[in-house]
Structures are given as structure tokens and as C-alpha cells.
Chains A and B, each alone.
Chain A
Amino acid sequence: MKLPIALLQKFIDLPENDVDLLRRVFDDLGLEVKAVEGAADQAVFTIETLANRGDHLSVAGIAREISARYLSAVRQPAIAPEISDRKTSIPVRNLTDKCLRYALMELTLPPRMQLRQDVASFLDAGGGKHAIVDLLNYVQLELGQPMHAFDKEKVEGEVVIELTQKEEVVDALDGRQYKVPPASIVIKDKKKILAVGGVIGCSNSMVTAQTERVLVESAAFDPISVRKTARSMGIATEASQLFGRGSDREMVITALKRLLGLCAATAGAKDDGSAHVLGLTLVDGAALEKRRLNLDIGLIRKHMNLPRLEAVEVAARLKHLGFSVQTGEGDKELTVTVPSWRLWDVDSFQDLIEEFARSHGYSRVKQVLPPLDYDLPSPSPMEVLVDRIEASVLGSGFSEVITKGFYSASDVAMLGKLSPELAAQHIGVINAVESNYSHMKITNLIHLARLAESNHRKGVLSVKVYELSRLFNAKENSDGPYEYERDVLTLAASGRWNENEWRKAESRDQSAYLFKGVLESVFAALGLRLEVQAARYPLLHPGVQAEIVIGKENVGRFGLIHPDLKEELELKSDLFYAELDINSLSRSMRDGSYREAFEYPSVRRDLTLKVEPERLASQISKMIFSCGAALLTDVSIVDDFRKPEENFRRTTFRLTFQSGERTLETPEVDREIDLILNELRQKHSVEISA
């Protein structure tokens, strides 16, 4: 809303002459000044009002706020004492309770009607429409009552206020065509829609320079109905914003009287006899009940920590805001009647506390901290988990990133090429303004890959990032706390592992195992051992990926980005990606426990075995452990290679034997080795390498 300060001064003596200081007063009252044009008396404030305060969209409403703060008087503008005893020549029928009050005033206009300069100066661009229309806008600015003028000659038959039964199309005053949804308030004559109630008038009945007689509409409409209609039409007029917040039913006639007062002064209507009221028709819709509320003064004292606050001050401020106040017994309680313009937003004692607090000033509240709590809550499982793993990921050079939760339709289509099943699990967003946000992400791989590529283009050699993210899936999640989403720890590495070019770049194999090392470090921090098994995730390279398991539970996956996806995303570098389910990790993490360290020396033996290419070395390790060698305490892998001409790998396992009771003799270790080799050969068809 644009507020000329000079106009405000007609209503109230301002507490500050300096524009900057006055602006502070406005801000302090919840009238946020977004811009100031001009200086001193010529200043115009652009004000953003609170979304529930229709009464703030007028000079009178703002004057009332200021008066309550400074307990000063508001000057009311001059209005005509009466309108007319006669009815309009056209009858009016209200067929909907969504129209709370409707007044139609018939008026003849003087020829060459001119707007008074002092009025014009307060309007945007000095007015410039038809003088009667400019006057209506001026009254709205003063009093917050939108009004509309129809050219009487263009209205046929009676005026009816009713709800649309179906979608209608109207040509509006702004030159655009709108679809009006069903159940909207419309003002019609016997043939056409003249206006969409509370929103905008139609061009078919607009006032022109040739108009000699007008029908001026002043009304009160149901705010929700107006909002629904305006929203559906995609329009926000000053009228719809005001009616949508709730207008003042009692202002319907007052505004017409103010208009008459201005018309008389403007046109000298009584002098030439050509501009005068021909009639007034008033129809009422549903009446609004008077609202009385009780206000406990003790409650205000307590909330604002003002023990000496007197009821008389509370009453005075509320009266300046337009409330009627009766003092109860012993000044402990007030009975407050809500004014007609505040029935939309004041309905409880809390509202009255706010009314008083705002007018009194929040800066005058004496602040007291609530007590500290010595029964502190435990950190959440997520906090514990993050605390434990963070040193591992940060220490490995991974930085935290935050990506958005969306995909575009083309992203989904791209994933669909690799896995139609995966693509079908996306949750769509039906009304995204940004076209890139039409779906919720099902994996973080695309986001992290794009992020890596973007950083490489900026000259970042080593991209190592992690994100504690949410992934979304149309399949309901039976395992976690949320229906369609789950928390994941995702990691990605691309480019060099180290942050400079001094040494030769790591090979793909080295990068893969460096990446796995970070995951092992994360698991170790959680008191877990990283175990993997074969995987077939469609977005990762089929030969360079693994599922991560804890016991029998699949808790995540990692691997190299699928070459097709890499190509689709136009990545220049390989990218390793891991995704770990946080809920599963939280459930499984444990603290370390004491494990006896034997004093007696251990014996190490290396076994080189023939391993099929598709078989995981970790499976062989498990097999070795399951052979029943009682003295075997550890199996580690120390070498793995494949000759090009052979169809198997040669993998060397280092077996550690140890006893807590004695130093082991060579023959007993030999027996254990024989046992293991026999078991491997007979049960698993694994042979020792020559």
C-alpha cells in the first residue's frame, strides 16, 4: 500500500516530523515500510501490512494504530449526513449469504466532472481515470472500503448478487479475460455479469467520459469466497486483497456518505443540479454477531512482566484501537467488544494481549529468561552417529555439501534408460514453478556427479564430498521413521585423491580402494566391520560395485558410476559413489569392547589360491574362517593378480595362527593349513596356486 504522509496528517497529528523516525514508528507497529519516496510532508511510504489486517489497508486504519500507541485523537473525514430515502431505479436482490451487505447508490454526474487537485495529488499518478472512479479510489485509500461504479445505462433490469453455478468467462476492466470458477460471487443484471464480487468489475458496464449516471456499489463480501475466486482467477486487485482479509460491514454506508461529501465539494452538484443522489438500495446478507471477550489484566501483567500495569491503560489503548471496553470488578478484568472491522481476526484473549502489547510497544516488555534445565536430554541417534563418523570423513578430505531434493523430468527419463523400475519409483511434484523440480530425488548420485563436474570445471582437482541427505521413494518405507523418505549418508569422490598434481594420478583401482577405505573408516568409527557382497544396482558400473551388509541386512552400496550414466551426465572424470542408510547404521552401531591380546607369538602363513574372477575375495576369507581351524585368528589379503592368459585370479591370503596358552609348533600349524586346504578344495572347489 502506498501511503501519502500528508494524507495521514489529515487524520492524525504525527508523533515524528522526521521521515526516518516516523518510519521507525511504523515498523514498530507492524506496518513495515518497504520504501520511502519523497521527503518531509511529500513523503510516500510503501507499506507491507500484516496478512490478517485488512484494516491496515487504509489511512484511517493506520491512524488508529498510531493513536493507540500515542493515545492521541483521530480526526474523521467529513461525510454527508444522509444519502437518500428513495430506492434506486433498478432493484437489487442478494441471493447468497457470501455477500454480507450490498448497497447500490444511483448518482447523476455533473458534465465535465473534474477531480479536485488536493484529492488527485494523493492518488497514484494523480488519478487520471474518470473523476468518479478516482474519487472511489480515494475513499478506499482513506477508509479501506473498495467501491465500484457501473454506467447506469449499461445495466439492464435488476441487479442480482449470486454465486456462479459453473465456470464463467468475463472481460475485466483491466482489459484481460478471466475464467471465473464456480461458486464465485458475481454481480449480474438480467443478461450479463457486471462484476466479480470483491475482485474486479467487467468492461461491459464500465464508466466512460460519456457516462451521465452511475450506480455505485459498496459492499462487504465473505473473505474466504473472495480469496478463492481471486486465487483461481490468478488476480490480486487492491479490492480482492482488502476483501480477502475481511472488510468492515459497517463501512459500506459510511464510505458512500464520504463519497457524497467529496462529490459535493468536487462538483458543486447542488449548484448546477446535475449531480445528485437518485436513490439508495441496501440489502443485507448474513449478520455478524457482536463479539465480547473477557480480558484478565493479570495475564497481561504476567506476559509482559509489568506488575504495575493498570487496567486503565489497557482500556485506553484498546479504545483507541476501536474496541469498546467495560471495566470489571476491581480492575482485574475487562469486557471488550470487538469492533466491526476486527471481527475477522480478534476472537480470543490472546488476540487482545497482542493488541495491547503492540500498542504499548514490545520494547517495553521486561524480559526474563526461563530457567535452565539440569535434566538435559540425550543426543538423538543421528547426532551420535554424525559425531562418531565425522572425524573419519573430514580427515579423509571429504567436505560436506547440501544438494536439493529435486530432479527434473529429463533426469527421471535419463535414469529410466538404465532402470525403468527405478524411474517408476519417483514421487512427482505436481505444481513446481521451476521445471527442474518436477520430481523428488531417489538417489543422490546425479546431484553429486553434477556437483563434481561443476567443481572440476572450476579447477578443483580433487572432489571428495559427503552429504547427510534425504532420499524419496514412492514405495512406502516400512523400516524407517518416515513413510516415503529415508536419511542417507552419501559420499562421492572424483578426480585426484590428493589435492595437488605433483604425483602421478591414482589409477581407477587405487581410487576404488581408497574410496572403500573411507567407508571402512566410517564403519570402524561406528564399531562395525565393513562387509560387502555382490550387487546389481543399475546406476553403478556392473563390475565395480558392491552392496554393504551388516549381518543379513543390506545397509547401502558403493561403486563406480555406470559408464552410460557418466556419458549422459557428460562427466569427464570417473566418480565413486556410496549410499548408506542412516537408520540402519544407527541401529547397528556399537561401542568397542575388550578383546584379549595374546602374549604368545603368532605364526603367519601365506596361501595363494586360485579365485574365479566373479567371486569376491572376501567370500574366500569367510570360507577359510569356516574351515574349523581352531588356532586361526586372522585372515588378510596381501596380493591379488591375474595373468592375462589365465581365467582365474591368484589371491594371496595371509593367515595368522596364535594361541593364548602356548607358543605354537610348526607341525600343529601345518595341520591347520592342511585342514583348510582340504576343506577349500572339497567343499568350495578352491585350489591352491602352484
Chain B
Amino acid sequence: MQLKDLDFTALEASLQHQFSLVSSAPDLEVFRRDWLGKEGTIKVLFKQLRDIEPERKAEYAAQLNSIKERIEGFVATREVELRADKVKVALSAERLDLSLPAIFPGLGRTHPVTKIERRIAEILRPFGFENVQGPEIEKEYYCFDSLNILPHHPARDMQDTFYTENQHVLRTHTTSVQARVLEESGKRQGGRLPVKVASFGRTYRNETEDASHQAMFHQFELVWVDKGLTLSNLMALISHILRELYGKKRKIHFVPKYYPYTEPSLGPQIDCTICKGGGCPACGGAGWVTVGGSGMVHRKVLEEFAYDPSVVSGFAFGLGTSRLAAQTIQVPKLKMIYENDLRILKNV
């Protein structure tokens, strides 16, 4: 190609065509080498400037520089484009289907009974109840005798008891923890006041198991002993707890009960969730469901632990947390709470 004969317009057209032929990185490299390399066309043409008449040299040089800039611009742009294309191809090859399952150890759940226990503890906390624990293999004294449940008392029929080889019983209620706490507090001079404790735990009944009856289940119980506590206080506290647990709009009702360690004894009831108090098979037609037991601490229990019932009064309230948990997660049978079916436990 001779500069002096060069038709810049035709060259321009030719370049456009050659640009369109560069479709890959090797094409671009060949194109760059052919035009911009040491032996490339642009270098050769610049060398031929010396053969151009002096008065036209500037004109030719300007046109050559313009062509060179166009080619350099094209190479730079195309290089970026081709690199981007390459990345695009590479990325598409590296694609992960993120809809495939995760490598995930799963998220564990606390047991429904634990959830209920914590909810109750949370409700009680502003009143200053301390959580206490006690043994499950218990002395008869703490389980029965100290609680005014004397041998052959009718109440011992209500609580069919497991007896162990080491002459103890499996506690039939968490009230035995109450007895231990009152004994410990009563030992202090004049009796430490207030006594305000809650106990959550496993309890045992020696009965044939079925869908609704379990030999081991969970209970919660609170006891509060102080000067001036009244039946009115007890009922208000229970109403507060039950409304927090079951819903603010639930109707609450108290019926007479008999427990040897409380007097008076009351059974708190809530309106049946199914019939709303109208009576249905689920509530035995009563319209109400008894959810626990309560009462003013019996004077004989106070006296047993060196408290003077003419000065001090107290109340207790307990409920079955297993049953409450079953109701909360809406499993139809109590025994399902203890079947530990992870298909259920992982979803509640």
C-alpha cells in the first residue's frame, strides 16, 4: 500500500468492513498486529510520509493519525467487549442452581412443655416468683404427710402413687417442692416472709396409660405465703395468669374443689374453646374446662412448717403444663406430647 496513492475514503470503508470481521480475541490480535504492530500497515504508511511532498505532508500525517486513533479506539473497545463476552460465557458455565437443597443441619426447637413453662415464668416474673426445683424420688412426708394428706385419707385415693424400693415415692405433684421450701423458710426465726416460689417439673401417677392419661406428666405450681394474702388476691392472680395464657377475652370461673393442703380449695375454669361455653362433647357438656387447682394454704400445712396461721396466710395454684402444651399446639391426645415425633416437634 502506497501512501501517496492512498484513497482515505476507500480505506475508511475497508476498515469498517474489517472491524466487522473481528469476532474473537485471536481475530483482534491479528487485526491489531496487521495494523498497529511494528510491521503493521500504520507504521509502514507513517514511514512513507518522507516520500510525500512537504506541502502535503501535514495533511497526510493528520489523516494517518486520525486513522490510527480510530483503529486504536476500535481495538481497545473490542478488547473490552470480547473480554466481557468471555466472562459472560465463563459465568454461564459456572452457574449454580440455588434452588437445590441447602447443606443445613436444621434448626432445633424447644419442647412445647418447655415453651409453656417459660411463658408462665414470664407472666409470674413481675410478681417476684423464684423458680425452684425438687427431687422426683420424694419422701412420703413431703409428698403427703406434711401436706395434710394423712395415711388412708381419701386424697391418697386420688393419687395412685409409685413406691420405690428405697422406701420413697415418685412425687405425685410439684406441691412436694412447696413443702420443702416452706420447711426451709419456716426454720428461720418467725418464718421467712414472703415465700414466693414457682416450681415446674415432672410428676408421676401410677395408672394405666391411655391417650389422655400418662404415668409421667408435667405440672407447675406456685405458692405465696405472706401476711395479709387473701382469697381475693389468689383469684385475681389466677385470672391474670389464665388470661395471659389463654387470651384476654376468655371467661374465667371458679368452682369448689377439695385438696387436703388448701382450704378453701378452688378449681379455676375457662370457657370451652370449642363451644364457647355452650356445652359440647369436648367439655363434657359443661361449657367450662377446669384448668388447674388452687386454694389458700391449709392452716395445718402452715403450722407444720412453723408458721402461725392467725398471722400469716398463703395461697397456691397449680396446673398441668403437659395438658396445656397439648392444647396450645392442638394435638388431639395428651400422649402425643411425649411421643417425641420430630415431624411434630420440629413444626411447633
Contact = CB atoms under 8 A, between A and B. Distances in A.
Interface of A: 20, 23-24, 27-30, 32-36, 50-53, 224, 227-228, 231, 244-245, 302-305, 348, 350-351, 353-354, 357-358, 362-363, 365-370, 372-373, 375-377, 379-380, 382-383, 390, 393-406, 427-434, 437, 440, 451, 454-455, 458-460, 462-466, 470, 472, 474, 481-485, 487, 497-500, 502-503
B256 A50 contact: yes
Closest CB pairs A-B (n = 6): A373-B128, A30-B256, A397-B106, A354-B264, A367-B236, A397-B105
Given A368-B236, A372-B128, A484-B135, 16 more contacts: A30-B256, A32-B255, A245-B154, A304-B232, A350-B298, A350-B299, A358-B256, A365-B231, A367-B232, A400-B109, A402-B218, A405-B204, A427-B137, A427-B165, A502-B101, A503-B103
Interface stretch (B50-58, B75-83, B207-215, B326-334): B207-215
A368 B125 CA distance: 18
A364 to B, nearest CB: 10
Nearest to A346: B263
Nearest to A370: B233
Contact of A20 (B170, B257, B279, B343): B279
Contacts of A474: 165-166
A362 B235 contact: yes
Interface residues of B, number: 90
Interface string B110-143: 1101100000000001111111111111000000
B163 A429 contact: yes
A429 B346 contact: no
B258 A51 contact: yes
B25 interface: no
20 contacts: A28-B255, A28-B256, A30-B256, A50-B256, A51-B258, A228-B152, A303-B232, A304-B231, A350-B296, A358-B264, A366-B232, A370-B229, A382-B133, A402-B340, A405-B136, A433-B215, A458-B341, A466-B108, A482-B135, A500-B104
Contacts of A24: 287
Contacts of A372: 126-128
B206 A499 contact: no
A224 B150 CA distance: 10
Contact of A406 (B133, B207, B216): B216
A376 B338 contact: no
A397 B104 CA distance: 8
B11 interface: no
Contact of B263 (A51, A302, A351, A375): A351
Nearest to B214: A404
A430 B263 contact: no
A368 to B, nearest CB: 5
A305 B230 contact: yes
A402 B111 contact: yes
Contacts of B39: none
Nearest to A469: B202
Nearest to A468: B114
Given A30-B256, A354-B264, A474-B166, A500 B154 contact: no
Contacts of A472: 136-137
B258 A53 contact: yes
Contact of B206 (A231, A362, A431, A462): A431
B284 A305 contact: no
Given A34-B284, A368-B236, A433 B103 contact: no
A55 to B, nearest CB: 13
Interface of B: 100-111, 113-114, 125-137, 152, 154-155, 157-158, 160, 162-166, 168, 170, 196, 202, 204, 206-209, 215-216, 218, 224, 229-233, 235-237, 239-240, 253-258, 260, 263-266, 279, 284-288, 296, 298-299, 309, 337-338, 340-343, 345-346
Contact of A348 (B204, B236, B299): B299
A685 B234 CA distance: 72
A350 B314 CA distance: 12
A430 B165 contact: yes
Given A304-B231, A362-B254, A429-B164, A51 B158 contact: yes
Contacts of A244: 154
Given A400-B111, A437-B215, A429 B230 contact: no
B257 A380 contact: no
Nearest to B269: A27
A483 B131 contact: no
A533 to B, nearest CB: 27
Contacts of A458: 341, 343
B254 to A, nearest CB: 4
B206 A30 contact: no
Contacts of A470: 136, 202
A465 B309 CA distance: 48
A383 B232 contact: no
Contacts of B105: 396-397, 462, 464, 497-499
Contacts of A432: 162, 206, 215
Contacts of B111: 399-402
Contact of B236 (A369, A380, A396): A369
B183 to A, nearest CB: 15
B232 to A, nearest CB: 4
A376 to B, nearest CB: 6
A368 B232 contact: yes
A434 B154 contact: no
Contacts of B160: 433
Nearest to A404: B216
Given A23-B286, A427-B164, A433-B208, A369 B215 contact: no
Contact of B258 (A23, A52, A404): A52
A302 B236 contact: no
A20 B283 CA distance: 13
Contacts of A455: 340-343
A485 B232 contact: no
Contacts of A485: 135-137
Contacts of B109: 394, 399-400
Nearest to A33: B286
Contacts of B207: 433
A463 B342 contact: yes
A397 B103 CA distance: 12
A669 to B, nearest CB: 38
A399 B345 contact: yes
A367 B234 CA distance: 8
Contact of B235 (A28, A227, A367, A451): A367
A484 B166 contact: yes
Contacts of A377: 128-130
Contacts of B113: 402
